[in-house]
């Protein structure tokens, strides 16, 4: 997984004129288009306005990274950080991706993983703000929960939804019904809830309406085939050594 290649593909997508591009992503990719190195652009955007660059734009794309590195915990941590920092260099955004990725990997490895196991995996990061968000998730109040597109809000919502609801659809509906940045909350919750429930846990009526279903399932199967270790698993997401806080 080469972040420079991913950045190049992001630029190609950006230049194709997509309908909706987040503020941070647009700022970073515009800098790359103007000639800045991909590994400098996001850092400069972050340093220019650190309080505005911890959005959930990189969190929403964490699931494929987690799937590919499910049985490689060290690589999962580093790849999650690398893929986030292409556009979101804020430490809270980056480590939120690691937290979500570790929860997804745990859900894939453990059949019907209890919420406590997922929360424990997500909390195994060195960034204090991310750990607090994970710890607060089970007691989130849906009446007052912040729902704007901050990475830790979205992470908290997803963990709350899967800790309160065992079924895939109940968890996703609960997250979306909080409002705010509902599409991203639904996507992140769906990734985690789907990793726990498996394909059989997703309602058939939802799958029937899914655009590009065959391609998505083929890509997911390929990622999982590449992820599987030869022989026994070579690690567990819950005991992965985590790099020092950035």
Q: What domains lie within the chain, and their CATH numbers?
A: 3-52 (no CATH), 59-227 (1.10.4080.10)
Long-range contacts of 218-224 (CB under 8 A, 24+ apart): 219/64, 220/67, 223/64, 223/67, 223/68, 224/67, 224/70, 224/108
**The predicted structure's pLDDT at residue 234:** 43
Task: Extract the residue ranges of the chain whose pLDDT is less than 70.
Answer: 230-246
The total number of residues shown for the chain amounts to 246
Residue indicated by tokens 């400098």: 40
Q: What's the predicted TM-score (pTM) here?
A: 0.91
Contact 88/54 with Cβ under 8 angstroms?
yes
Q: Is 123 helix (H, G, I), strand (E, B) or coil?
A: helix
| Residues with Cβ within 8 Å of residue 168, at least 6 apart in sequence | 190, 193, 194, 196, 197, 201, 202, 203
**The predicted structure's pLDDT at residue 112:** 83
């Amino acid at each position: 997984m080469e972040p420079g290649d991913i950045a190049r593909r992001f630029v190609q997508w950006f230049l194709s004129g997509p309908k909706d591009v987040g503020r941070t992503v647009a700022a970073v990719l515009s800098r790359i288009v103007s000639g800045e190195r991909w590994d400098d652009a996001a850092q400069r955007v972050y340093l220019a306005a650190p309080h505005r660059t911890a959005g959930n734009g990189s969190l929403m794309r964490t699931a494929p990274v987690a799937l590919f590195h499910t049985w490689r915990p060290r690589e999962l941590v580093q790849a999650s950080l690398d893929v986030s920092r292409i556009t979101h260099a804020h430490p809270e955004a980056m480590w939120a991706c690691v937290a979500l990725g570790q929860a997804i990997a745990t859900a894939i490895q453990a059949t019907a993983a209890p919420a406590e196991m997922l929360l424990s995996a997500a909390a195994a990061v060195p960034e204090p703000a991310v750990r607090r968000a994970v710890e607060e998730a089970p007691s989130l109040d849906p009446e007052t929960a912040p729902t704007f597109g901050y990475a830790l809000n979205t992470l908290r919502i997803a963990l709350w939804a899967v800790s309160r609801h065992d079924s895939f659809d109940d968890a996703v509906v609960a997250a979306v019904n909080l409002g705010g940045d509902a599409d991203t909350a639904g996507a992140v919750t769906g990734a985690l809830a789907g990793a726990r429930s498996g394909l059989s846990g997703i309602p058939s009526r939802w799958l029937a309406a899914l655009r590009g279903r065959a391609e998505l399932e083929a890509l997911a199967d390929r990622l999982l085939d590449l992820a599987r270790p030869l022989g026994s698993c070579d690690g567990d997401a819950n005991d992965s050594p985590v790099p020092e806080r950035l």
